[in-house]
Amino acid sequence: MDLAADLRAYVAGRRHSKQEEALLRRIRALPQSQRMEILAPLLDLKGLTALVLIDHSQLSRADYLAILKRGLAEADASSIKFWLEATVRHVGWRKVFSILRGMAAPWPSPGASAICFLPFIFGQVYPLPASLKKEFDQLLEIYDRERPLPFLPDNWRSHRNTDRQTFYEWGGSQFTLREGDNDK
């Protein structure tokens, strides 16, 4: 049977691990340049299963970047998490932060919705290296500047008013700001 038809049927139905593995083997047997061609139409079906398949299909970095950008443009606040989970580990945090900086807009916005879920992804999917925590805080400041982000931890804003080391926890991840980190 046709792989595209099998994928559409699978995405429309319930997930089954053995069937999913068989489909992933068939996808990975294709040349990498053809994989996105067969998977892209699945994104139009709005199924989260499509994002799971995409995450495990070994696409090119450029393909994952295109999927991330599409997710940021099309996903709503409740589904952006799944688009991030499927792409972040393939494009890396620096690239994600760069994209989010480039589309910064006050809450509510697609970028702000994405930021809401990042700490959960740090803890569950793809850890944030300690070297990028300052960059994450700077990203939060950009989004929080014009209109406060309603989902930030209560003590996050207090770090701006002190030169001391400040800790805050969000989504199970602990963040530390040190003296001088709040310089603009």
Amino acid letter, 120: F
DSSP 16-67: -HHHHHHHHHHHHHS-HHHHHHHHHHHHTTT-HHHHHHHHTS---HHHHHHH
Please indicate, yes or no, if residue 107 is contained in any of the structural domains.
Answer: no
Please indicate, yes or no, if residue 177 is contained in any of the structural domains.
Answer: no
- The pLDDT value recorded for residue 104 is 84
Please indicate, yes or no, if residue 143 is contained in any of the structural domains.
Answer: no
d(CA 110, CA 174) in angstroms, rounded, equals: 24
d(CA 65, CA 157) in angstroms, rounded, equals: 31
- Asked whether the whole model's pTM tops 0.85, one would answer no
| CA 140 centroid distance within chain | 15
Q: For the chain, what is the domain count?
A: 1
Please indicate, yes or no, if residue 148 is contained in any of the structural domains.
Answer: no
Average pLDDT over residues 12-40: 94
Please indicate, yes or no, if residue 82 is contained in any of the structural domains.
Answer: no
pLDDT-derived band at 1 (thresholds 50, 70, 90) equals low
Please indicate, yes or no, if residue 29 is contained in any of the structural domains.
Answer: yes
Please indicate, yes or no, if residue 167 is contained in any of the structural domains.
Answer: no
Please indicate, yes or no, if residue 142 is contained in any of the structural domains.
Answer: no
pLDDT at 164 over 60: no
d(CA 108, CA 85) in angstroms, rounded, equals: 21
pLDDT at 162 over 70: no
Token pair belonging to 54: 């995409």
Domain carrying residue 16? 1-59
